[in-house]
Structure 1
């Protein structure tokens, strides 16, 4: 993907565990039609475990060699991503927002989670019961191209991410970027950077992106090359991962 090929490092992380993640897991596999998440998606906070995961992520950032440390941070505007970034960066010695010469953090709405439209807050049971036509349309079109009314398809994510990464590259050529975002954005960044097909990215998506996991690419002279995907060793070592 030419629009990020001048970056030296591209690091992505998903936010720490949120109360929404907990509610979704509690509803999954039951007869519930709704997830029980009452906040607006943008306002869903981190759980206590999520805050601990963000701190563990920060200790991993603090331990990076100097030539791998981020030179800029881009964050989704949602509360769970903002708090993940703030907690993590507070663990480092080089990223204090009060320092005018410190690491620059920008908030970008193009990094927000995928919009679910009328399906927001519903379990798969709820979708099938309340919107059976949409459930059938999803099965027919496939996850990549299906767009719920008022929401986004995975292909729509690719459109806004192409724009985001073009701007990121223009603003910081040769930089080392840390992007704090959501699982769908991590997956679709692989699609763009690695030139995956629809079938390949949907295969990737079958493995859940863990909270506060790390996915990295490094410039190898010819472009960005994958270093790790969904890496959780820093969480396991801290006792806050599986």
Structure 2
């Protein structure tokens, strides 16, 4: 955190996935709902670069020079290699093509680079309020039906009924680590010395859910097997128009399709 060298484990009361959001994180002196000294970016250069590159890619007029003047500058800021237009289009990333993890609707000769630009946009503008509008523009509303997953958690010990997540990778159970357990009460270091100084204990099925239960797996957020979500491709890209507005304009405004 700003002004501190303390290492903290993820706050599972704030993150449902186990991945703690640190974008815009302040110092501890700003830990209050009504206080922040952070500037708010209303419109920044990276967004302009991303908008420009995406528009030219969709129009089929994107060049390597365009990429070098936009996406490459964003990637260079964090030491990532430049994007190569020809290479991206010759070998589209299978992960970005897949229905489960990517954008299966993208096609055409610029498919590879469009997918890469979408990846860059997702990373660069994360947690800045763009995602919904991006999915609407890309006609990827079906993404809302997919299972939302978090970090991977190994299987719980079948005898001890817990697993330790060594989140800082130092091989020692300390205050930065987390214990996931199954049962009515959390295990203690008095019974299991290997728990060390762990202070965060998460009860399986109550504080978090795993894809395979005690056998581990990704953290599951809003289980679609028990609470499925539905997206109507013929309706949900547009909001319904309030009936009072239709009445006010004497029928000159028509309701959006299928609402």
TM interval, shorter chain, is: under 0.3
**Greater strand proportion:** 1
Task: Report which structure shows greater RCO (CA 8 Å, sep ≥6).
Answer: 1
Q: Highest Rg: 1 or 2?
A: 2
**Greater helix proportion:** 1
The alignment's TM-score, normalised by the length of structure 2, stands at: 0.21
